[in-house]
Chains A and B, each alone.
Chain A
Amino acid sequence: MALNHDELALSDALDDLARDQSEAPAGRYAAVRRRVVRHRIRQVAAGGALAVTAALVAIAVAVPAGRTGSNPASSRRVPGWALPWPDHRNGSVPQRVLDGAVTAWRRAFGPAGRELRKPGRVIWYVGQTAAAGQDVAVIFEVAGPTGHRLVVGSARASQVMKGQPGSWALEAVRAPSPSDVGPAIGFNMPASRPAPKAGLDNWIVEMAGPRVRRLDWTAVTTSGTRAGTASTSRGLVVADTGQVTRQVLLTGLITSRGNVLSHAAYVGLPGTNPASQGGQPGLPVLALPAALRLPTSFRLVGGTGATGAGSIDAGAAAGDVKPGQREVIFARCYGPAPLQIRLLHHQDLISQHVLGVIRCDNAEHELLVPARQVLTHDGVNVQTGEMTSYWVDFGIMP
């Protein structure tokens, strides 16, 4: 049930009251252990026999150097509902730009046509440029009207770095409990590859606890399966996983005590289902295949490059069919599922006539449309699997 205004005010007041907390005392853990030993000694003494062994004393007193009980994560003051993980912001992005991401969240996740009311405290974890400066990646938690939210996402740096509203791609889930957060929090982010190998690479932003020193993963790419590894910065990794054709699988979160990942997990947000359909959180936007080489006589009506299902609207060209002209579809795709090209009819989405099926072998294919059907309808619909990436162009040729 949502908190009322007084309850929200009290929640803010309690967070504010605890804000003056000092750093964790050095030796808290050791102090606790000494209390345990003293209690045991008292118990033993009360029983009429004093049996303090040298080993017991050694455990209580010989605290190894560095084991102070303090934790760099817990020295940051965060509310009880927030993750006690470090703030990784490195100053590469102005705060007003990061505030724009919070504004975008308020606008995107409010009821239709309305913004969320101004949020309470925002706890930042990631707010920096990524993918060689092409993008701005964010991870934050925020107190909203119906509870606390974990928000992740990115925007093109060129669209937001000067304070423009830009276009943020954000995902929000209920903030996980700090005591049950799972191994890591992550998301996928596409970024352009520089010429001559133009296209999109998949990047992962993965945040684990600060004790994690290394991240291992497996990525199935257009050039085969690749095992990746990267050292973390206090638990954070931003890495290029290549032109993937499957979801990236985390295989290791390595600490000083070994791999703390009990079983492999897909890059994604806590509580999301990586195997779900339809572009659910955690599914990467794949790199596009190589561009189509179109004949000079080809007049483009419309085209699309995408991962998963899509469509091309004939728009203003609908009905513009001259005698002797042919409707042609060019396509190139890769991935586990073929492309099924259907007529698009906005009024009748169920019974869509199949114009053809294109094999996704990363080769260019041409599909002739008989009887000039597309421009007498609304366009074409591309049906395919969520992990298939393609270019499809529709046009007219003599």
Chain B
Amino acid sequence: MQAAMFEDFVGTRGQALQRFAYLLTSDWALAEDLLQTALARAYPRWSRIESDNPEAYVRKIMVNTWSSWWRRHWRSEVPTGILPDSAGPDHSADVDRREAVRVALARLPARQRAVVTLRYHQDLSEQQVAQLLGISPGTVKSQAAKALARLRAEGALDMYRTDQSAGGN
């Protein structure tokens, strides 16, 4: 029964968690490695966590695992742009836009990257992010503000700003 429930979770949430891992690692292969590592660590405890919030638990393992990888292996080197190597439809604007975000995100300190990914991609509240990372909500707020300022300064958000019409919901 535990195996079946775990397999269900892997099947339904795996891709979403891999995207989260990619935003942390900037590399799809590394993201899959991070995801499988975290899932393997979560599985022995599955019967205890499955009824609570298993996704939050797995995310926490992913962040902690990635942090340990970051401290051991990562330095300041950041992969540069990927150019298409064959002629085809011109998606260069899309590639440039995403590459700008990827590079700017990769340049953020580890904690800031984790905070913005959890806040603005995983849609967690400041309180939830604080609990997951073991920091205060105030620190979440300040880390997010610093990350946004840095991304703004690098121009990574320029192509995602829409026209600001009056009003809103």
Q: What is A's interface to B at a CB cutoff of 8 Å?
A: 2-3, 5-22, 24-25, 28-29, 31-33, 35-36, 39, 67, 69-71, 73-75, 77-81, 84, 109-111, 114-118, 144-146, 148, 178-179, 209, 211, 257
10 A-B contacts, Cβ less than 8 Å apart?
A9-B157, A12-B160, A16-B98, A16-B101, A21-B22, A24-B18, A74-B15, A78-B16, A81-B122, A257-B4
Q: Total A-B residue pairs with C-beta atoms closer than 8 Å?
A: 157
Query: Chain A residues with Cβ under 8 A from B12's Cβ?
Result: 71, 73-74, 84, 209
| Chain B window 28-64, contacts with chain A (Cβ cutoff 8 Å), 1 for yes, 0 for no | 1000100011011001100000000111000000000
Chain B at the A interface: mostly helix, strand, loop or mixed? helix
Q: Which of B14, B37, B40, B168 contacts A116 (CB 8 A)?
A: B168
B167 and A11 within 8 A (CB): no
- The one of B101, B162, B166 in contact with A114, judged by C-beta atoms closer than 8 angstroms, is B166
Contact A80 B167 (CB under 8 A): no
Let me know if A20 and B121 touch, CB within 8 A: no
Residues of A within 8 Å of B111, CB to CB, are none
Give the nearest-CB partner of B105 in chain A.
A17
Contact of A179 among B13, B39, B157 (CB under 8 A): B13
- Chain B residues whose C-beta falls within 8 Å of the C-beta of A22 in the assembled complex: 28
**CB neighbours of A16 from chain B (8 A):** 97-98, 101, 160
Smallest CB gap from A32: residue in B: B39
On whether the beta carbons of B36 and A32 are closer than 8 Å, the reply is: yes
Q: B151: CB under 8 A from chain A?
A: yes
Contact (Cβ within 8 A) A18 B22? yes
**Chain B residues positioned under 8 Å from A19 (CB to CB):** 98
Structural contact, A36 and B23, CB atoms closer than 8 A: no
Minimum CB–CB distance from B80 to chain A (whole Å) comes to 16
Q: Which residues between 84 and 112 of chain B lie within 8 Å of chain A, taking CB atoms?
A: 97-98, 101-102, 105
A14-B101, A74-B16, A110-B167 are contacts. A29–B10 as well, Cβ < 8 Å?
Answer: yes
- Chain B: minimal CB distance from A121 (Å): 11
A35 x B36 contact (CB < 8 A)? yes
Chain B positions within 8 Å of A17 at CB level: 22-23, 98, 101-102, 105
- Contact (A10, B16) CB under 8 Å given A18-B22, A35-B36: no
A77 to B: closest C-beta gap in Å: 8
> Complex formed: what's the CA distance from A35 to B37 in Å?
8
Residues of B within 8 A of A14 (CB): 23, 101, 105, 116-117, 120-121
Picked from B43, B101, B120, the residue with its CB within 8 Å of the CB of A7 is B120
The 4 A-B residue pairs with the shortest CB-CB distance in the complex, in nearest-first order = A71-B11, A35-B40, A114-B167, A18-B19
Q: Is B76 an interface residue (CB 8 A)?
A: no
- Say whether B156 contacts A13, CB under 8 Å: yes
Q: How far is the CB of B42 from chain A (nearest CB, A)?
A: 9
Interface contact A67-B7, CB-CB below 8 Å: yes
A3 to B116, CA, bound (A): 13
Least CB distance from A96 to B in Å reads: 20
Q: Which partner residue on chain B sits nearest A209 by CB separation?
A: B12
